[in-house]
Amino acid sequence: MRNPTNVNISIYGHDDDNGTYRVFFIIRLKIHFKNLVSSHLQEIVGAGVETTSAAIDWGMCEVLSNERIARKLRDELNEVVGREGYVTESHIPRLPYLRAIVKETLRMHPTAPLLMPHMSLDVCQDVGGYLIPKGTRLFVNAWAIGRDPTAWKDDPDKFLPERFLSDACSSMDVKGHHFELLPFGSGRRMCPSVNLAVPLVEVTIANLVHAFDKWELVLPRGKTTLDMSDECGIILRRVNPLIAIPRKKVII
Protein backbone atom coordinates (compact mmCIF):
# COMPACT_ATOMS: atom_id res chain seq x y z
CA MET A 1 0.00 0.00 0.00
CA ARG A 2 1.30 3.50 -0.81
CA ASN A 3 2.22 5.63 2.14
CA PRO A 4 -0.20 8.59 2.19
CA THR A 5 2.52 10.82 3.66
CA ASN A 6 4.66 10.38 0.50
CA VAL A 7 1.72 11.23 -1.73
CA ASN A 8 1.40 14.51 0.07
CA ILE A 9 5.05 15.36 -0.42
CA SER A 10 4.83 15.00 -4.19
CA ILE A 11 1.63 17.02 -4.48
CA TYR A 12 2.47 19.91 -2.24
CA GLY A 13 6.28 19.93 -2.39
CA HIS A 14 6.44 21.63 -5.82
CA ASP A 15 4.13 24.43 -4.97
CA ASP A 16 5.27 27.98 -4.36
CA ASP A 17 6.55 28.88 -0.92
CA ASN A 18 3.95 31.51 -0.29
CA GLY A 19 2.38 30.02 2.80
CA THR A 20 1.79 26.67 1.09
CA TYR A 21 4.33 24.90 3.25
CA ARG A 22 2.21 25.55 6.28
CA VAL A 23 -0.68 23.77 4.61
CA PHE A 24 1.63 20.95 3.58
CA PHE A 25 2.78 20.35 7.14
CA ILE A 26 -0.67 20.48 8.65
CA ILE A 27 -2.01 17.92 6.20
CA ARG A 28 0.99 15.68 6.57
CA LEU A 29 0.78 15.67 10.34
CA LYS A 30 -2.93 15.01 10.27
CA ILE A 31 -2.50 11.94 8.11
CA HIS A 32 0.41 10.67 10.15
CA PHE A 33 -1.61 11.04 13.37
CA LYS A 34 -4.63 9.34 11.83
CA ASN A 35 -2.48 6.36 10.78
CA LEU A 36 -0.89 6.14 14.17
CA VAL A 37 -4.21 6.16 16.01
CA SER A 38 -5.71 3.71 13.56
CA SER A 39 -2.81 1.24 13.88
CA HIS A 40 -2.90 1.46 17.69
CA LEU A 41 -6.65 0.88 17.68
CA GLN A 42 -6.26 -2.07 15.31
CA GLU A 43 -3.63 -3.56 17.61
CA ILE A 44 -5.78 -3.16 20.71
CA VAL A 45 -8.92 -4.52 19.06
CA GLY A 46 -6.97 -7.38 17.45
CA ALA A 47 -5.25 -8.31 20.70
CA GLY A 48 -8.36 -7.93 22.83
CA VAL A 49 -11.35 -9.33 21.00
CA GLU A 50 -10.51 -12.89 20.00
CA THR A 51 -8.46 -13.66 23.11
CA THR A 52 -11.32 -12.65 25.38
CA SER A 53 -14.08 -14.32 23.38
CA ALA A 54 -12.04 -17.54 23.09
CA ALA A 55 -11.49 -17.56 26.88
CA ILE A 56 -15.25 -17.18 27.47
CA ASP A 57 -15.91 -19.95 24.95
CA TRP A 58 -13.48 -22.36 26.64
CA GLY A 59 -14.77 -21.49 30.10
CA MET A 60 -18.38 -22.14 29.07
CA CYS A 61 -17.39 -25.46 27.47
CA GLU A 62 -15.76 -26.63 30.68
CA VAL A 63 -18.66 -25.52 32.87
CA LEU A 64 -21.40 -26.90 30.63
CA SER A 65 -19.71 -30.24 30.15
CA ASN A 66 -19.27 -30.81 33.88
CA GLU A 67 -22.51 -30.98 35.83
CA ARG A 68 -20.79 -30.93 39.24
CA ILE A 69 -18.88 -27.72 38.45
CA ALA A 70 -21.95 -26.05 36.91
CA ARG A 71 -24.04 -26.87 40.01
CA LYS A 72 -21.37 -25.56 42.38
CA LEU A 73 -21.08 -22.32 40.39
CA ARG A 74 -24.87 -21.85 40.31
CA ASP A 75 -25.05 -22.39 44.08
CA GLU A 76 -22.35 -19.80 44.67
CA LEU A 77 -24.07 -17.29 42.37
CA ASN A 78 -27.48 -17.86 44.00
CA GLU A 79 -25.98 -17.35 47.42
CA VAL A 80 -24.00 -14.20 46.63
CA VAL A 81 -26.07 -12.51 43.91
CA GLY A 82 -29.49 -13.95 44.75
CA ARG A 83 -31.67 -15.93 42.38
CA GLU A 84 -32.53 -12.77 40.47
CA GLY A 85 -30.35 -9.95 39.19
CA TYR A 86 -27.22 -9.55 37.14
CA VAL A 87 -23.75 -10.44 38.27
CA THR A 88 -21.60 -7.30 38.34
CA GLU A 89 -17.93 -6.66 38.92
CA SER A 90 -18.66 -5.73 42.55
CA HIS A 91 -19.73 -9.35 43.24
CA ILE A 92 -16.46 -10.84 41.97
CA PRO A 93 -14.44 -10.66 45.22
CA ARG A 94 -17.18 -12.77 46.88
CA LEU A 95 -17.19 -15.40 44.12
CA PRO A 96 -14.05 -17.50 44.75
CA TYR A 97 -15.31 -20.53 42.83
CA LEU A 98 -16.03 -18.43 39.72
CA ARG A 99 -12.52 -16.93 39.93
CA ALA A 100 -11.05 -20.41 40.29
CA ILE A 101 -12.96 -21.55 37.20
CA VAL A 102 -11.53 -18.69 35.13
CA LYS A 103 -7.96 -19.34 36.32
CA GLU A 104 -8.36 -23.03 35.57
CA THR A 105 -9.74 -22.16 32.11
CA LEU A 106 -6.72 -19.95 31.38
CA ARG A 107 -4.35 -22.63 32.72
CA MET A 108 -5.68 -25.34 30.42
CA HIS A 109 -6.67 -23.16 27.50
CA PRO A 110 -4.40 -20.09 27.38
CA THR A 111 -5.93 -18.25 24.45
CA ALA A 112 -2.55 -16.95 23.25
CA PRO A 113 -0.78 -20.32 23.67
CA LEU A 114 2.68 -19.19 22.51
CA LEU A 115 2.32 -15.63 23.88
CA MET A 116 3.86 -13.16 21.41
CA PRO A 117 7.29 -13.74 19.85
CA HIS A 118 10.10 -12.32 22.03
CA MET A 119 13.78 -11.71 21.26
CA SER A 120 16.67 -11.97 23.72
CA LEU A 121 18.37 -8.58 24.02
CA ASP A 122 21.48 -10.20 25.47
CA VAL A 123 23.03 -13.62 25.81
CA CYS A 124 21.27 -15.65 28.54
CA GLN A 125 23.49 -18.12 30.37
CA ASP A 126 22.12 -21.46 31.51
CA VAL A 127 18.37 -21.31 31.04
CA GLY A 128 17.39 -24.86 32.00
CA GLY A 129 20.85 -26.00 30.89
CA TYR A 130 20.77 -24.08 27.59
CA LEU A 131 22.70 -21.03 26.44
CA ILE A 132 20.46 -18.62 24.53
CA PRO A 133 22.49 -16.36 22.19
CA LYS A 134 21.70 -12.67 21.90
CA GLY A 135 19.05 -11.93 19.26
CA THR A 136 17.32 -15.33 19.51
CA ARG A 137 13.63 -15.36 18.61
CA LEU A 138 11.80 -17.00 21.51
CA PHE A 139 8.36 -18.52 21.76
CA VAL A 140 7.14 -19.29 25.29
CA ASN A 141 4.75 -22.23 25.30
CA ALA A 142 2.21 -21.14 27.92
CA TRP A 143 -0.04 -24.07 26.96
CA ALA A 144 2.66 -26.63 27.83
CA ILE A 145 3.66 -24.74 31.00
CA GLY A 146 0.04 -24.84 32.21
CA ARG A 147 -0.04 -28.62 31.85
CA ASP A 148 3.48 -29.40 33.03
CA PRO A 149 3.20 -32.34 35.49
CA THR A 150 6.28 -31.18 37.42
CA ALA A 151 4.54 -27.87 38.21
CA TRP A 152 0.96 -29.19 38.48
CA LYS A 153 0.97 -32.33 40.56
CA ASP A 154 -2.79 -33.00 40.72
CA ASP A 155 -3.95 -34.33 37.39
CA PRO A 156 -2.72 -31.46 35.14
CA ASP A 157 -4.91 -32.57 32.22
CA LYS A 158 -8.08 -32.46 34.30
CA PHE A 159 -10.26 -29.37 34.70
CA LEU A 160 -10.26 -28.95 38.46
CA PRO A 161 -11.02 -25.39 39.68
CA GLU A 162 -10.67 -26.60 43.28
CA ARG A 163 -6.87 -26.64 42.86
CA PHE A 164 -6.99 -22.82 43.02
CA LEU A 165 -8.83 -22.96 46.35
CA SER A 166 -6.22 -25.21 47.93
CA ASP A 167 -3.51 -23.82 50.23
CA ALA A 168 -0.81 -24.50 47.63
CA CYS A 169 -2.41 -22.48 44.81
CA SER A 170 -4.92 -20.06 46.38
CA SER A 171 -2.51 -17.11 46.21
CA MET A 172 -1.63 -17.82 42.57
CA ASP A 173 -2.76 -15.25 40.00
CA VAL A 174 -2.40 -14.74 36.25
CA LYS A 175 -0.45 -11.47 36.47
CA GLY A 176 2.94 -12.87 35.53
CA HIS A 177 4.29 -13.47 39.04
CA HIS A 178 3.78 -17.23 38.99
CA PHE A 179 5.71 -18.80 36.17
CA GLU A 180 3.57 -21.97 36.23
CA LEU A 181 0.63 -19.90 34.99
CA LEU A 182 1.39 -17.38 32.23
CA PRO A 183 -1.72 -16.87 30.06
CA PHE A 184 -0.98 -13.12 29.88
CA GLY A 185 2.81 -13.42 29.69
CA SER A 186 5.11 -11.75 32.18
CA GLY A 187 7.34 -8.70 32.49
CA ARG A 188 7.34 -5.45 30.55
CA ARG A 189 5.65 -6.82 27.43
CA MET A 190 2.96 -8.85 29.17
CA CYS A 191 -0.66 -8.15 28.28
CA PRO A 192 -1.43 -4.59 29.42
CA SER A 193 -5.12 -5.44 29.77
CA VAL A 194 -5.02 -8.28 32.26
CA ASN A 195 -6.99 -6.21 34.78
CA LEU A 196 -9.69 -5.57 32.20
CA ALA A 197 -9.77 -9.01 30.58
CA VAL A 198 -10.06 -11.20 33.69
CA PRO A 199 -13.13 -9.46 35.20
CA LEU A 200 -14.67 -9.33 31.71
CA VAL A 201 -14.35 -13.10 31.32
CA GLU A 202 -15.52 -13.70 34.91
CA VAL A 203 -18.61 -11.47 34.67
CA THR A 204 -19.62 -12.82 31.23
CA ILE A 205 -19.37 -16.49 32.21
CA ALA A 206 -21.16 -15.77 35.50
CA ASN A 207 -24.05 -14.00 33.77
CA LEU A 208 -24.40 -16.62 31.05
CA VAL A 209 -24.71 -19.32 33.71
CA HIS A 210 -26.82 -17.30 36.15
CA ALA A 211 -29.33 -15.91 33.67
CA PHE A 212 -30.71 -19.29 32.62
CA ASP A 213 -32.00 -22.36 34.41
CA LYS A 214 -29.76 -24.55 32.32
CA TRP A 215 -27.95 -24.90 29.03
CA GLU A 216 -28.48 -27.95 26.85
CA LEU A 217 -25.46 -29.04 24.85
CA VAL A 218 -26.10 -29.88 21.20
CA LEU A 219 -23.75 -32.76 20.45
CA PRO A 220 -23.02 -34.39 17.09
CA ARG A 221 -25.02 -37.56 16.44
CA GLY A 222 -23.65 -40.51 18.40
CA LYS A 223 -21.54 -38.39 20.79
CA THR A 224 -22.22 -38.13 24.50
CA THR A 225 -19.47 -35.72 25.52
CA LEU A 226 -18.25 -32.41 24.21
CA ASP A 227 -15.17 -32.62 22.02
CA MET A 228 -12.48 -30.46 23.68
CA SER A 229 -9.88 -30.65 20.87
CA ASP A 230 -8.01 -27.42 20.27
CA GLU A 231 -6.22 -25.94 17.29
CA CYS A 232 -2.97 -24.10 17.96
CA GLY A 233 -2.41 -20.79 16.20
CA ILE A 234 -1.90 -17.25 17.44
CA ILE A 235 -5.21 -17.87 19.20
CA LEU A 236 -6.15 -21.22 20.72
CA ARG A 237 -9.46 -22.05 19.09
CA ARG A 238 -11.81 -24.98 19.41
CA VAL A 239 -11.79 -27.48 16.56
CA ASN A 240 -15.56 -27.91 16.87
CA PRO A 241 -17.68 -24.95 17.95
CA LEU A 242 -19.71 -25.04 21.13
CA ILE A 243 -23.45 -25.22 20.45
CA ALA A 244 -25.74 -24.95 23.46
CA ILE A 245 -29.37 -23.94 23.97
CA PRO A 246 -30.26 -21.89 27.05
CA ARG A 247 -33.45 -22.77 28.94
CA LYS A 248 -35.09 -19.70 30.35
CA LYS A 249 -35.17 -18.45 33.89
CA VAL A 250 -36.69 -15.02 34.41
CA ILE A 251 -34.28 -12.66 36.08
CA ILE A 252 -33.96 -8.91 36.75
Please report, as ranges, the residues that interact with ligand HEM according to CB under 6 A: 43-44, 47-48, 51-52, 55, 111-112, 115-116, 183-185, 189-193, 196-197, 201
State in angstroms the smallest separation of the CB of 113 from ligand HEM: 9
Distant-in-sequence, close-in-space partners of 132: CB < 8 Å, separation ≥ 6: 120, 123, 124, 138
Cβ proximity to ligand HEM, 13 vs 192, nearer residue: 192
When the beta carbons of 11 and 116 are compared against ligand HEM, the nearer one is 116
Residue nearest to ligand HEM (CB): 185
Q: How far is the CB of 106 from ligand HEM (least distance, A)?
A: 6
Q: Which is nearer to ligand HEM, 70 or 181 (CB)?
A: 181
Number of H helices, E strands in the chain: 6, 8
Nearest approach in angstroms of CB 197 to ligand HEM is 4
The burial of 230, by beta-carbon neighbours within 10 Å (0-12 exposed, 13-18 middle, 19 or more buried), is given as middle
Separation CA 135–CA 101 (nearest Å)? 38
Alpha carbons 82 and 88: distance in angstroms, whole number: 12
Query: Smaller CB distance to ligand HEM: residue 9 or 196?
Result: 196
Question: Minimum distance from CB of 55 to ligand HEM (Å)?
Answer: 4
How far, in Å, CA of 119 to CA of 110, rounded? Answer: 21
